[in-house]
Structure 1
Amino acid sequence: MAPDRPSLRRRLFVQLSPRQWPAEGMSPANKMIGLLILFSVGVATLESEITIYAGNEGIFRTLELLLGGIFLAEYLTRIWVAPEADPDGPAWRARLRFIVSPAGILDLLALSPLLLEDLGPQAFLLRFARMLRILRFARLGQFSGAFAFLQEALASRRHELVLGVCVAGGLLVLSATLLYVVEGDAQPEAFGSIPRSMWWAIATLTTVGYGDVAPITWFGRVCAGFIAVLGIGLIAIPTGILAAAFSDAAQQQRIRKEAARKAHGHHHGEPHQ
């Protein structure tokens, strides 16, 4: 007798939930949603350019309504299929759990431009609505195992990363304090306080070097050169930590896949009694 066909809600749940999809990669539904998210981000980006937006307001509004309607249907579908994650519990609890989850809140925020743009023509509301539309790009992380891989890599080196941030913060304050002492009298507008010197320290330690603020005394330039060299090492520290984290996570993932493959082959290779 053929097994019972899964219900429509179950099939949609498997399509929309990355952890439930049995094959590698993203499900067809999530691939389509991901492409639509990328398209909507592109539309929101182009809309911020007045020379492109002017004269094409109707096209952009139509696209936003169409994309918003699709994402609204997807959001409601995710609420509907949420009980499949906990079949033994009450449906309302599973749906509420999804609505208040980070993924559900992000989905709702990404839909809010539809409402915000109807509240009025205020420029700040339009800019805020566009910013929320860009949040749709962050939702791509929900659809791929690569996001879990990234989380695993960062979590494995969290202590080293925190230490690196602390070292960077201490070096930032120290550099700003040093230039405040050395250059404060010569350039009070740029180095007259430690907070004012922070801008120069950030631009120098990150090796950006805008050049809008620079020391003019000989001792200040010597200190600035030393700090600039330290900035190269400062950038290398988190880069090395992240590279090692990704390497370790990739190796662990390969080991797990190899073990799963061997277990699968051993299971199917056992002779039947």
Structure 2
Amino acid sequence: MTKAEIHDILDGHTPFAGVNVGRVMDVLILLSAIAIALETMPELPAQLRGLLFKFELALLIIFAAEYVLRLATAPRPARYAFSFWGIVDFLSFAPAIAFLTPQWQVVRAFRLLRLVRLLKLFRGSHAMERLVVAFRQVRGELAIFGVIAGLMLYVSAVGIYIFEHDAQPEVFSSIPNSLWWAVASFTTVGYGDMFPITPGGRIFTTFVLFIGLGVIAVPSAIVTTALLESETNIQRRIREARENGEDTNNNETAQNTKGD
């Protein structure tokens, strides 16, 4: 069995002994998320807590074995180890070691990093790959818009401080403190812990809320446009490959595995 075949089995592209390994791993990841939620319940029976511990131990062994297998079969092990998916695979089991070592009581808070396992659900997902491609295509536009959004947050914090500081010195005590109000307003959340009471502050807030809608809508439109363009390009390449008599399934598999 070649290294590429092992990767295909782990990613679920090729069944092993009639079992889709990728789907089994997805189910284990979802069960792990449920187990992590259950173990935080203080009224959980001791017997069930013991079963959860054994289940976590089994997951630790399975995910550790998967990581070692991927590392051993990767064309460039070091590159895989420090890649995004390599780090995700490592963090899917490493924090659970804190359960087995009583001396690590201080770092047991990091055990929630096991939730990184949920990211493994996106491995091999064509939709996720298209999203990554779309973000790469518009990363320049998003970076510029991020800078503009940051400047607008700062200007909003300064503006609300000017309008509201004298009326509410304990609430809008400083510009850094007013940044929380700017973030909550820009994201149109509005927790209600900080709100204007002066007419000028309310008028200023109205403009900020409208600008906040654009802060959310513009990046979404940029990414959506890039996704549509990416989908169009993919369909065009598939159509051209079919016209040339190429195997599109093999092309897709090669694109999915080249990152490892």
State the TM bucket, normalised to the shorter chain.
0.7 to 0.9
Local SS of the residue matching 1:188: coil
Query: Where does residue 258 of structure 1 map in the other structure?
Result: 239
Q: State how far apart, in whole Å, the 2-side matches of 1:248 and 1:191 are.
A: 45
Residues 148-186 of structure 1: CA deviation (Å, up to 9, x unaligned): 211111111112211221121111111110011111121
- What amino acid maps onto 2:184 in structure 1? A
Instruction: Report if the CA contact (8 A) 2:9-2:20 is conserved.
Output: yes
Displacement, 1:236?
1.3
Q: 1:106 aligns with which of 80, 85, 88?
A: 88
Query: Where does residue 5 of structure 2 map in the other structure?
Result: 11
Q: State how far apart, in whole Å, the 2-side matches of 1:126 and 1:53 are.
A: 21
Unaligned runs of 5+ in 2: 248-260
Identity of aligned residues (%): 34
Q: 2:136 aligns with which of 140, 151, 155?
A: 155
Query: Where does residue 67 of structure 2 map in the other structure?
Result: 75
Displacement, 1:53?
7.1
Displacement, 1:46?
2.9
* Alignment CA distance shift 1:159-1:11 (3 Å): closer
Q: 2:107 aligns with which of 125, 133, 138?
A: 125
Local SS of the residue matching 1:189: coil
Query: Where does residue 125 of structure 2 map in the other structure?
Result: 144
Local SS of the residue matching 2:166: coil
Query: Where does residue 55 of structure 2 map in the other structure?
Result: 63
* Alignment CA distance shift 1:180-1:122 (3 Å): farther
* Alignment CA distance shift 1:154-1:9 (3 Å): closer
Query: Where does residue 202 of structure 1 map in the other structure?
Result: 183
Displacement, 1:14?
3.1
Unaligned runs of 5+ in 1: 1-6, 86-93, 267-273
Displacement, 1:102?
3.3
Q: 1:231 aligns with which of 166, 191, 212?
A: 212
Instruction: Report if the CA contact (8 A) 2:59-2:93 is conserved.
Output: no
TM-score, normalization by structure 1: 0.79
* Alignment CA distance shift 1:11-1:242 (3 Å): closer
TM-score, normalization by structure 2: 0.83
Query: Where does residue 28 of structure 1 map in the other structure?
Result: 20
- What amino acid maps onto 1:253 in structure 2? I
- What amino acid maps onto 1:238 in structure 2? P
- What amino acid maps onto 2:239 in structure 1? E
* Alignment CA distance shift 1:153-1:178 (3 Å): same
Instruction: Report if the CA contact (8 A) 1:47-1:53 is conserved.
Output: no
Larger Rg: 1
1:218 matches 2:165: no
Q: State how far apart, in whole Å, the 1-side matches of 2:186 and 2:201 are.
A: 15
Q: State how far apart, in whole Å, the 1-side matches of 2:78 and 2:157 are.
A: 49
Displacement, 1:43?
1.7
Displacement, 1:35?
2.3
1:246 matches 2:227: yes
Displacement, 1:54?
6.5
Instruction: Report if the CA contact (8 A) 1:176-1:197 is conserved.
Output: yes
Q: State how far apart, in whole Å, the 2-side matches of 1:229 and 1:47 are.
A: 43
Instruction: Report if the CA contact (8 A) 1:157-1:245 is conserved.
Output: yes
Aligned length: 244
Instruction: Report if the CA contact (8 A) 1:117-1:125 is conserved.
Output: no
Q: State how far apart, in whole Å, the 2-side matches of 1:53 and 1:221 are.
A: 52
Instruction: Report if the CA contact (8 A) 2:134-2:226 is conserved.
Output: yes
Displacement, 1:8?
6.1
Please identify, of 31-40 and 98-107, the stretch whose mean Cα deviation from structure 2 is larger: 98-107
Query: Where does residue 98 of structure 2 map in the other structure?
Result: 116
